[in-house]
């Protein structure tokens, strides 16, 4: 038996605001394996997330198979579009949903982690962040501002997090992010520069694996997950259609679950994945291997 054992490890999952997405599923899988879990949440969503927890609205989702509940050691405000508080424009810094949370930048997160847990508090970093304000626009109709915003939050934020959190991670630590097949294939309606952002994320994964591996002895991988009908994904506007299409045209026809992605992340972040870095792992029921749609008679 080769158990995934993360006892004594601490993880930070950036990008959790409810119980419906891949970020939550990864956090839960890490906790199932014994890790202590902190999360970083976008400030405008933080009140809602805290209320869900306080009122027990997601208690059922938090139940662990080994008994007990998924508990978060800390919930930090995080807007990874900003490396420092000074980078945030005044209208953000003076927004009530932000001001009440203190320093919500990546630098602020670093200081909070050091204050709460010491100089080397982390073993695992999960990047579950993406935002494309013009995701419904075809690339030809995407503004420069919208394109750069998508790349900033969905790709460069990984660089920013690894750059500042790498020194806080113990040697042998692991970084994992989430990407999508639109990085290498055309997915109509997945616009606003998001396909470019995912391509950048995968390229940066390889470079960061080399640089962070040599500098701090940590691994960096990304998971190319199939579509999931989460609340966040509903912004794309065609998520149910995508889920159905994958089911009809993948080697495995059952719909992908968030738990399957969570389990893969737990493996990658565990000692069992110690030889894997700089890699894109596909968790999409095999859809990425297909070269055409399945003929109707095959269904």
Catalytic residue IDs: 180, 190
b/e map of 80-108 (b: 16 or more CB within 10 Å)?
bbbbebeebeeebbeeeebeebebbbbbb
> Percentage helix, strand, coil, to 5, in the chain?
45, 15, 40
Locate tokens 């069992």: which residue? 272
Contact 106, 127 (CB under 8 A): no
Question: Quick count: other Cβ atoms within 10 Å of Cβ 147?
Answer: 21
- Rounded to whole angstroms, the Cα distance separating 255 from 106 reads 35
CB contact set of 80 (below 8 Å; sequence gap of 6+): 14, 40, 106, 129, 153, 157, 160, 161
Instruction: Spell out where the chain has E strands.
Output: 10-14, 36-41, 72-77, 122-127, 169-179, 219-225, 280-283
């Amino acid at each position: 038996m080769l158990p995934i054992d993360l006892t004594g490890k601490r993880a930070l999952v950036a990008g959790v605001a409810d119980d419906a997405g891949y970020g939550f599923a990864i956090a839960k899988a890490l906790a199932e394996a014994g890790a202590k879990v902190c999360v970083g949440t976008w400030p405008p969503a933080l009140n809602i997330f805290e209320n869900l927890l306080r009122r027990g609205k997601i208690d059922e989702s938090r139940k662990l198979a080994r008994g007990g509940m998924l508990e978060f050691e800390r919930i930090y405000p995080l807007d990874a579009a900003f490396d420092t508080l000074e980078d945030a424009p005044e209208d953000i810094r003076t927004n009530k949903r932000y001001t009440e949370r203190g320093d919500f930048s990546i630098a602020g997160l670093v200081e909070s982690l050091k204050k709460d847990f010491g100089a080397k508090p982390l073993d695992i970093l999960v990047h579950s962040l993406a935002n494309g304000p013009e995701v419904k626009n075809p690339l030809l109709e995407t503004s420069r501002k919208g394109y750069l915003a998508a790349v900033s939050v969905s790709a460069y934020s990984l660089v920013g997090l690894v750059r500042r959190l790498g020194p806080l991670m113990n040697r042998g630590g692991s970084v994992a992010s989430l990407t999508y097949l639109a990085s290498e294939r055309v997915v109509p309606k997945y616009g606003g520069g998001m396909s470019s952002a995912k391509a950048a994320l995968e390229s940066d994964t390889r470079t960061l694996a080399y640089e962070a591996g040599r500098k701090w002895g940590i691994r960096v991988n990304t998971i190319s997950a199939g579509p999931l009908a989460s609340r966040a994904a509903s912004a794309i506007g065609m998520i149910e259609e995508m889920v159905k299409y994958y089911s009809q045209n993948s080697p495995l026809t059952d719909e992908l679950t968030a738990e399957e992605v969570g389990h893969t992340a737990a493996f990658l972040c565990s000692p069992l994945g110690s030889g894997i870095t700089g890699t894109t792992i596909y968790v999409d029921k095999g859809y990425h291997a297909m070269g055409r749609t399945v003929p109707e008679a095959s269904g």
